[in-house]
Amino acid sequence: MITPLLGEAWDSMHANRMRSVLTMLGMVIGVAAVILMVAIGQGAQQSVNASIQSMGSNLFIVLSGSATTGGLRMGMGAAPTLTTGDAEAIATLPAVAAVAPLQPGTAQVVYGASNWSTMIAGTTPDALVVRDWPVARGAAFSASDVRAAAKVALLGTTVVANLFGDQDPVGKTIRIKQSPFVVVGVLASKGQSLNGQDQDDTILIPVTTAQRKLFGSQFPGTVRLIMVQARSAALMPQAQSEMTALLRQRHHLPSRADNDFDIRNLTAMASAAAQTTRVMSFMLGAIASVSLLVGGIGIMNIMLVSVTERTREIGIRMAIGARRRDILRQFLLEAVLLSLIGCFVGALCGIGGAVAVHYLARSVVVITLSSVLLAFGLASTVGMFFGYYPARRAATMQPVEALRHE
Amino acid sequence: MPTSSLIVLDAVCKRYETAAGPVSVLRDIDLAVGTGESVAIMGPSGSGKSTLMNILGCLDVASSGRYLLDGQDVAGLDHDQRAHLRNRVIGFVFQGFNLLPRISLLDNVALPLLYASVPERERRRRAQESLQRVGLGGFEAYLPSRVSGGQQQRVAIARALVSGPRLILADEPTGNLDTQTSHEIMTLFMGLNAADGITLVLVTHEQDIADFTHRHVLLVDGRIAADHLLGEATAARVSP
């Protein structure tokens, strides 16, 4: 029953080629928009998620507080109140899994004829645990390296590429601010951070080495920040209050005094970012769906014209025995066929567009089967929904009146 | 005279509501047509001939009165059941042929079988047979616009015949045709009437067309003004 009807629907579309194509164009644009927008939205989501993943999970950053010097209030982290001792004390807290102090600085690095300016981070081996950062080649420096303030370095891949090219850097000696450092390992690539920084453009060295030998400070033993990983997401509030109490005690703060440090929940910030992207992704899809709706209205419009034009044909069909449901089915099928063909072309356009965006704008796009299926589902629903009214109008015509129609 | 009545109209009226008030198109029509009869309904324009045909063909329903088709009261049927009667029991032939212009002659003829859910192969076979019967074997693939008016009307007859109806209703079937073609069409009709016993009811203005049939019903102002059964002399024209 369906096959000959399909043929008829095709014939009728073929007879009004221009009109059918224009009607489909609405669906093509709608479906292409949905697929493209969902692809872009999901791509954004995926890159945000990847960045969050690269940051490490259940993460806090403890910054030293602001300093006030002669009425001039400096920014957060200016006062050298955090020490490696603080970091070690935090590590003993029950809700805390791993702790790594961080003393960053920028320096020129030289190997042979190449040189490169990069971020040097003085830290402990636990930094790799906290940041969930594996070593690709060689090995991480050890706790004894930290105790001994050894001149050893772990390189990020960007640094390796700029200093060594294709050579294996492990075991080689580089110079940081004229001091020789032995390269003990290479970090796995992490890519961009949430705010677009290249996380691989860095060198990790023992925090003691950074404090004593590289970036001399008038406050020995202080660090800029401490990275803390809680044991689980559920333990994050507990970890935060434990840390606050501990640090206030260690810094001898009277009960009325403000904290001279700042604890930031990076995971909460990251999930806020992820939430934002999700909402944006949803909005993009919703806006694109509106064009699908407009396409559907186009189909309804054309089907109404078609039903009016073919009133006599409907009359003839009824006179030779077509039931109402036969007529309904015929026009509904035509509307669905219009929207499905439009949808198919639109899916191709949308996927093509997404691929073009990927190559031209260098942004991540994700085309999932589910987004294509969603578009097809929407399109046939739209076809059914907007095809139903005209088809019903055709089916409920009185045969005599339909036959009388010129 | 046939024994059983295929069509029985009992005090059938048809009224339309218009802005100027109700208009009666058919008034108290009593008519019985037996199986195998051939009837010409004649009358001036506006006498209600076409309305009567539409009611007989289950395309329209009477305002009052009873219409029994093969003993079944049509008034009690729903849309689908009336569609079923149009599909299986009645074959309709129109003045304007009413073929679907975009599909081939064979597909046109096969269309009623589509609505009867006959399988594809069977549809083609029966449509082909039906076309051969009206003398159009070999024209299967043509579009309606490619053949003459007389041939189109033959296709319409083939379409009416394809589902094996017991009754053929023809509303001025020769109104758009020249005299010679008209007579050919009538000969075809009467052949079907004689050979297959298909009951034939047709509407016509023209006496020579009506003279092919056995019975003339004259309709004036929605009433039956005369109902003549004709002798063998006229009926003999069927197969000279």
> In chain B, what are the domains?
37-54+78-238 (3.40.50.300)
Of the pLDDT bands very low, low, confident and very high (cuts 50, 70, 90), residue A70 is low
Beta carbons of B100 and A316 less than 8 Å apart: yes
pLDDT of residue A66: 64
Segment A230-243, tens digit of pLDDT: 988 888 889 999 99
Nearest Cα neighbor of A293 from A373, A378, A351, A370 is A378
Higher-scoring residue by pLDDT: A3, B220: B220
Residues of chain B in contact with residue A317, where contact means CB-CB under 8 angstroms, are 111, 115
Closest approach of chain B CAs to the CA of A294, in angstroms?
A: 30
In the numeric block, the tokens 């016993």 are attached to B197
Beta carbons of B115 and A398 less than 8 Å apart: no
Q: Does the pLDDT value for residue A354 go beyond 70?
A: yes
Mean pLDDT calculated for residue range A255-267: 83
Q: How many CB atoms lie within 10 A of CB B166?
A: 17
Instruction: Give dist(CA B194, CA B102) in Å, integer.
Output: 34
Beta carbons of A318 and B86 less than 8 Å apart: yes
Closest approach of chain B CAs to the CA of A319, in angstroms?
A: 6
HSE of A293, CA atoms in CB hemisphere, 13 A = 6
Segment A90-142, tens digit of pLDDT: 999 999 999 999 888 888 999 988 889 999 999 999 888 888 888 988 889 99
Q: What are the residue boundaries of the structural domains of chain A, listed by start?
A: 2-52+272-404, 96-230
Instruction: Give dist(CA B35, CA B52) in Å, integer.
Output: 18
Kindly report the average pLDDT of chain A as a whole number: 86
**For A322, nearest residue in chain B (alpha carbons):** B115
pLDDT of residue B1: 43
Q: Which of A5, A14, A16, A320 to mutate to test the interface with B (most CBs of B within 10 A)?
A: A320
pLDDT of residue B65: 93
**For B89, nearest residue in chain A (alpha carbons):** A321
pLDDT of residue B190: 95
Residues of chain B in contact with residue A320, where contact means CB-CB under 8 angstroms, are 86-87, 92, 111-112, 115, 159-160
* DSSP-assigned beta bridge partners for residue A205: A122
Residues of chain B in contact with residue A321, where contact means CB-CB under 8 angstroms, are 83-84, 86-88, 112, 115-116, 163
> Is-contact A303 A375, C-beta < 8 A?
no
B195 in reach of chain A (CB within 8 A): no
- ipTM (interface predicted TM): 0.91
Instruction: Give dist(CA B159, CA B191) in Å, integer.
Output: 16
pLDDT of residue B237: 39
For residue A368, give the 3-state DSSP assignment.
Answer: coil
CB pairs under 8 A between A and B: 66
* DSSP-assigned beta bridge partners for residue A263: A62
**For B160, nearest residue in chain A (alpha carbons):** A320
Closest approach of chain A CAs to the CA of B60, in angstroms?
A: 6
Helix (H) / strand (E) element for A58: namely: none
Segment A316-347, tens digit of pLDDT: 999 999 999 999 999 998 888 888 899 899 99
Q: List chain B residues with pLDDT less than 70.
A: 1-3, 231-240
Instruction: Give dist(CA A332, CA B118) in Å, integer.
Output: 22
Segment A160-170, tens digit of pLDDT: 999 988 888 99
Nearest Cα neighbor of A179 from A212, A147, A155 is A212
> Is-contact A207 A84, C-beta < 8 A?
yes
Q: Does the pLDDT value for residue A309 go beyond 80?
A: yes
Burial of A364 (0-12, 13-18, 19+ CB in 10 A): middle
The pair of three-digit structure tokens given for residue B164, joined into one six-digit string: 């094996």
